[in-house]
Structure 1
Amino acid sequence: MTSLDIPGPQVRTTAGMVKGLVDEQLGIRTWRGVPFGASTGGDNRFRAPRRPRHWRGVRDATTFGPPAPQPTYSWTDRVIGSENCLHLDIVRPDTDDELPVVVYLHGGSFIMGSSHEPLLRGYEFAKSVDCVYVSVNFRLGALGYLDLRSLDEDCVANPALRDQLLALKWVQANIAQFGGDPDRVTLMGESAGGAAAATLMAVPSAAGLFHRAIVQSPPMTMIHSRAQATLWARELVYQMALPRLTTLADLRAEHPYDLVRAGQSMMWRGRELQHLNTTYAPTVDGTLLLDHPLSVFDSGDQVKVPLLVGTNSDETSFSKFFYMRTSARSRAALRLLSAFDPEEASYVLSAYDGARDRAQFADLLADALFWAPSVRLATDHNPLAPTWMYRFDYAPAALRWLGLGAMHSLELTAIFGDPGASRTSGLARFGGMEGMAELTDVMQYHWGHFIHHGRPGDDWPAYQPPTDTAPARATMVFDAPARVEHDPKAGKRRAWADYDMTEWGHGRPELLEELGLLISTELGR
């Protein structure tokens, strides 16, 4: 007997019939590995995604599709995944109710991750929040987040971003067949997925494809400038040991795993991370993404939907162990700040007492990557659409003892309500998890209320300027217990106010000149 012989929920999509399965023990229905796009390999590599081919009969949707090609960070250089990766997974309660929809974009530094990571499968989340949960695969790393137009125009600058757009269009066309309401779609993502969600809010063609957004720990300073796009395209060719005049046709002839390995090599062997120059990210391309998302929000041209945004209090606590000497930490902090805005760098640094000790350095890095840009998003979005901000402070006792605290992505354990699937699940054996169950209930209540009604619960005030009856910048702090703070870290927020986070490379004139991008007073895009 095959899986197609076993009874399961059958649904017609625009490409053909799919059959999922019912888990009676969990009380859910799920469809796995449903194609929303064609293979991105061969001639389709680096190009805009295409809709999937129609199929006859009933397609088995009981097993997960392959993730995008990516490294494994093992002792070897093993790569996993397939370029036939444009699949999504759907989970909903085992009812016939019409429910709001969540489209989730996974994190993983733009190089790793999948729709079906154990914590992100959404079984408990869909049931607790009472929604149709859609988790999306998209291209990653050198195959999804590099702008290669400096090599050849026969490509698009943002393959992964276009994959995500295609998935949202698929949801609009198909989700009603799964019992989802296409007029109540929440776009949600964490880390790189949070940056992708915020970036899509800055893409004009995304308007109407979602109706609220949840943006968790988005590293918005990573968005690539033209300088970064040119630098990393050149470096990929070098790491592939190909001639300087290599074309996209040459790169399409290479095995995808070799491109992944070359992409990893150029990320780790260079010294660009000390300048906050990350290898992969969406690119300001002037066609799909017209400007840096922070600039789009500043000008008021973003998609105007209710927004819930926030960060964790110890996002980059691991960086406490980067430098042994005080002077080295301070120099490193100034160097990374100066890569964007050399004029304001010293002023920002002074708000952290020069980032001389380990905790100050970690706070500065976390704020530069996550908190300061999130505050900018919330500040600029609030006048145009309802906005709420949070900070996640909860940490198991073991993480507090290690000095790591509420580190990056830890909030996912509470939101998805599946602590056994978390990477930190092993810490539970050491105790110190008091209050986690209650915190999970609180966060799922607010996330669910937002997903259903476009606003969290009434005890979470909006993030807005002060009024005659309320103080400014209310921030929900998720800890045991949760509480509301107003304008947290106000002094540091003010220090970031005039710092330009939108154009990497201003502090690297020698590199810009080498790349041929030093143009009078500003960079061309």
Structure 2
Amino acid sequence: MASIDTPHSAGPQVRTTAGVVRGLVDEFPGIRTWRGVPFGASTGGDNRFRAPRRPRPWRGVRDATRFGPVAPQPTYSWTDRVVGAENCLHLDIVRPDTDEQLPVVVYLHGGSFIMGSSHEPMLRGHQFARAVNCVYVSVNFRLGALGYLDLRSIGDDCVANPALRDQLLALQWVQSNIAQFGGDPTSVTLMGESAGGSAVATLMAAPSARGLFHRAIAQSPPLAMVHSRAQSELWARELVYRMALPRQATLRDLRAEHPHDLVRAGQSMMWRGQGFMHLNSTYAPTVDGTLLPSHPLTAFAAGEQAQVPLLLGTNSDEASFSKLFYMRTSARSRAALRLLSAFDSVEAHRVLEAYSGASERGEFAELLADALFWAPSVRLATGHNPLAPTWMYRFDYAPAALRWLGLGAMHSLELSAIFGDPGASRTSGVTRFGGMEGMAELTDRMQYHWGQFIHHGRPGSEWPPYGPPTDDSPARATMVFDDPTRVEYDPKAAQRRAWADFDMTEWGNGVPDLLQQLGLLVGTPPV
């Protein structure tokens, strides 16, 4: 529990709607920060799987100099150790040590919907807040089985998207409180990477989030993983099985279990279910018909998303790790067709042909990366550009060591440049051997463009918007961040056209036997 001390303690004190918080000033690099500030009550006990509630007010001054607990999650280890607590709805605020009113960035962390926190070393934002001159708010929210499973098939006393509702509550908190920290509530940029980037696009498609942010940055959003009804029912049933509960188990039974046991069961679902290789992720936001009325890609195609300026993009080697999958070329090609057919068995062959059958390691990795990240991002940009300004990028830069290992510009590598802290990257153990020429210049360039967008709703003038051809520019301009940086027009045009008619919004369409088992085919009872 956070400590409550006297109003006369040192450190910057700010009154929020729940009470006063006391932060600290770090003279180097010259920032003010408040850590572990509650925006919601505990999500444990009877509150598990339910919509988040506002925090209980407190008296006195709450110590906000220490980070709060992470959401319950597994660890990077060979054991089944779990860390975190269900009292995890808090956020961290960083700003330059000035009294200037500044635009606000609300950041949603990545981590495959199962890991991560607001205060990972890379995401603390000290250098970023100073370089961009903004109030930076990093949000903690529920994860895994506690945040990204739709359990309504077990009982109606729950919500389909706990984590998404946590993020929505955090945005509401920002509107009510950020002015007290010197932030401008009329100039909020919602920003996230990977699972956080997916959350950004999903909140753009959520009517309840309208007006809570005014610009959006989505980095490597895996939108093909947004859950269909088939996935929701499949994984809810699997969680009960992995918890060794009877099939008739209720939400009350699941609420009685220790949260760490639910996390362990959720991990077992991931690794033994092999859903990833069918693009059937265990965890993701769910199309629930209420908070999220339709798939984000469907909403963007229909023009039903928040019409705010959007900056988005992907890395050139997002799935380079998959080069290690499958030893035989025929196995890779079959796996590629299988994962595509789960969505759209009609168009799967056309997509596969654009990657020469995906039988070689590099082609398979490119197909997987494009299926997860690039093709959905192109779909977003294409749907958004007619309604609001849109800019697209591709991050190609990779240190020499990563290129030598065949990993290249792998997933999340761009965070090192955007946050200006390559030493906090998980790849720092490799990059310390050198080959980082041009990284400092690239960091300056990306922070400049991100800063321009955060302050003015557009990046620098040398970055043309994404869209159809004009008298002055060809179509689909994409800023390629590398050494040197350049602009490409309609990159990978052949692959883009191959994806044009592929339905990536409804996993399970190509798996009729599973739909029948779940009772989701018309006229068939569940098995």
Q: Same fold (TM over 0.5)?
A: yes
Aligned to 1:329: 332
Which digits, 9 at most, give the CA deviation of each residue in 1:357-403, with x for residues without a partner?
Answer: 00000000000000000000000000000000000000000000000
Does 2:192 correspond to 1:189? yes
Q: 1:471 is matched by which residue type in structure 2? A: P
Partner of 1:430, secondary structure, is coil
* Cα 1:189/1:203, change in 2 over 3 Å: same
Local SS of the residue matching 1:150:
coil
- 3-state SS, counterpart of residue 301 of structure 2: helix
Counterpart for residue 301 of structure 1: 304
| 2:463 equivalent to 1:460 | yes
Structure 1: gaps of 5 or more residues: none
Determine the C-alpha separation between the residues in 1 that align with 2:372 and 2:426: 22
3-state SS in 1 of match to 2:391: strand
Confirm or deny: 8 A CA contact 1:475 1:486 kept in the other structure: yes
- Which residue in the other structure is 2:120 paired with? 117
2:260 is aligned with what amino acid?
A: Y
- Report how far residue 420 of structure 1 moved: 1.4
C-alpha distance in 1, partners of 2:523/2:213?
Answer: 40
| Structure 1: distance between partners of 2:82 and 2:515 | 33
**Cα offset, 1:2, TM superposition:** 10
Distance 2:228 2:502 in 1: 16
Normalised to the residue count of structure 2, the TM-score between the two structures is 0.98
In structure 2, C-alpha distance between the alignment counterparts of 1:304 and 1:25, rounded to whole Å: 39
Calculate the aligned-residue CA RMSD, in Å: 1.2
Indicate the residue corresponding to 1:135 in structure 2. Answer: 138
Aligned to 1:340: 343
The within-5 A match list for 1:311-460 is 311-460=314-463
* 1:66 maps to 2:77: no
- Choose from 467, 484, 488 the match for 1:485: 488
State the alpha-carbon separation in 1 of the partners of residues 523 and 295 from structure 2. 20
TM-score scaled by length of structure 1: 0.98
Shift of 1:55: 0.1
Q: Work out the CA distance in 2 between the residues paired with 1:403 and 1:15.
A: 50
Alpha-carbon shift at residue 481 of structure 1 (Å) = 1.2
Counterpart of 2:276 in structure 1: which amino acid?
L
2:17 to 1, 14, 19: 14
Does the 8 A contact of 1:224 with 1:283 survive in 2? yes
1:450-483 CA-partner distances (Å, limit 9, x unpaired) = 0000000000000010112210000000001110
- For residue 3 of structure 1, report the CA deviation from its aligned partner: 8.2
- Given candidates 202, 206, 214, the residue that maps to 1:203 is 206
For 1:77, the equivalent position in structure 2 comes to 80
The residue aligned with 1:215 is 218
User: In 2, distance between residues paired with 1:490 and 1:427?
Assistant: 33
**Per-residue displacement from partner, 1:431-465 (whole Å, max 9, x unpaired)?**
11000000000000000000000000000000010
Secondary structure at the aligned position of 2:418 is classed as helix
Query: Which AA in structure 2 matches 1:108?
Result: G
Which residue of 1 is the match for residue 111 of structure 2? Answer: 108
Aligned-pair identity (%): 81
* In structure 2, C-alpha distance between the alignment counterparts of 1:355 and 1:309, rounded to whole Å: 26
- Matched ranges for 1:94-105 at <5 A: 94-105=97-108
Shift of 1:498: 0.2
- State whether residues 71 and 79 of structure 1, in contact with CA within 8 Å, keep that contact through their aligned partners in structure 2: yes
AA paired with 1:18? V
Instruction: Note the C-alpha offset of 1:227.
Output: 0.3
Partners of 1:3 and 1:62 within 8 A in 2: no
* Equivalent residue in structure 2 for 1:169, among 167, 172, 179: 172
Return the alpha-carbon distance in structure 2 between the equivalents of residues 274 and 130 of structure 1: 42
In the TM superposition, what whole-angstrom CA distance separates every residue of 1:195-246 from its partner, at most 9, and x where no partner exists?
0000000000100000000000000000000000000000000000001100
Which of structure 1's runs of 4+ aligned residues deviate more than 4 A?
1-6
Counterpart-to-counterpart distance in 2, 1:143 and 1:428: 35
- Three-state SS of the structure 2 residue aligned to 1:369 is helix
Q: What amino acid is aligned across from residue 346 of structure 1 in structure 2?
A: H
Counterpart of 1:27 in structure 2 is 30
Alignment size in residue pairs: 521
Q: Any gaps of 5 or more consecutive residues in structure 2? A: none
Q: 1:205, 1:6 → 2: CA distance?
A: 39
Matched, 1:282 2:292: no
Question: 3-state SS of the aligned residue for 1:155?
Answer: coil
2:92/2:118 contact within 8 Å kept: yes
Letter in 2 for 1:212: R
In 2, Cα distance between equivalents of 1:142 and 1:512? 22
SS at match of 2:331: helix
* 1:505 equivalent in structure 2: 508
Question: What secondary structure does 2:190 align onto?
Answer: strand
- The residue type paired with residue 263 of structure 2 is V
Report the equivalent of 1:266: 269
Distance 1:373 1:326 in 2: 26
- In structure 2, give the amino acid aligned to 1:437: A
1:247 lines up with 2:250 in the alignment? yes
SS across alignment from 2:321:
helix
How far has the Cα of 1:273 moved from its partner? 2.1
